[in-house]
Amino acid sequence: MKALGFGKFSLLGWSDGGITALIAAAKNPHLISKMVVWGSNAFVSQQDLKLYNAVRDVSKWSARMRQPMEEVYGAQIFAKTWEAWVDGIAQFAKRPEGSICLELLPLISCPTLIIHGEKDPMVPSFHPQCLLKHIKGSRLHLMPEGKHNLHLRYADEFNRLVEDFLGH
């Protein structure tokens, strides 16, 4: 963003992209105006490891969930990449408190909107609660029917929330 000439900007991050946004906002508070994260976590718990291992084998996924990724990456590459992701994210569980960026959350000073789908199978509700607790002045919006891809499934509501938050 600096190379593009932006002095200040807002961040939106989903899932691992949300983790990236959290880290960027903590390390560059003077650059970030506002931030929206969804489907994101700052640590990996033993419960998370069980969830990740349960979806490790993509051949057991429904065709609806698997097909878009296989179309982009090819079936074999997607399967190998996903297994590598599970192996990679699991490494954080070995760190104190399973931290990915837990210790950085208090450094975030920009207004932050956390959106969470209450039916998210990948990110249990204790994760957005943790973000809310540790990011000063953050707020949480729960979507009762939302899952991990709530920005796609409920695009109109999601876009309205984000536009209202960024516009004020």
Catalytic residues: 15, 120, 148
Across-strand partners of 138?
Answer: none
123-140 per-residue burial string, b: 16 or more CB within 10 A, e: under 16:
beeebbebbeebbeebeb
Contacts with 20 (C-beta within 8 Å, 6 or more apart), sequence order: 13
| Amino acid (1-letter code) at residue 53 | N
Cα distances (angstroms) measured from residue 15 to each of 3, 7, 8, 76, 79: 25, 25, 23, 23, 19
| Amino acid (1-letter code) at residue 76 | Q
Please provide residue 165's backbone torsions phi and psi, each rounded to the nearest 5 degrees. -65, -45
Q: E-assigned strands of 18-132?
A: 32-38, 112-117
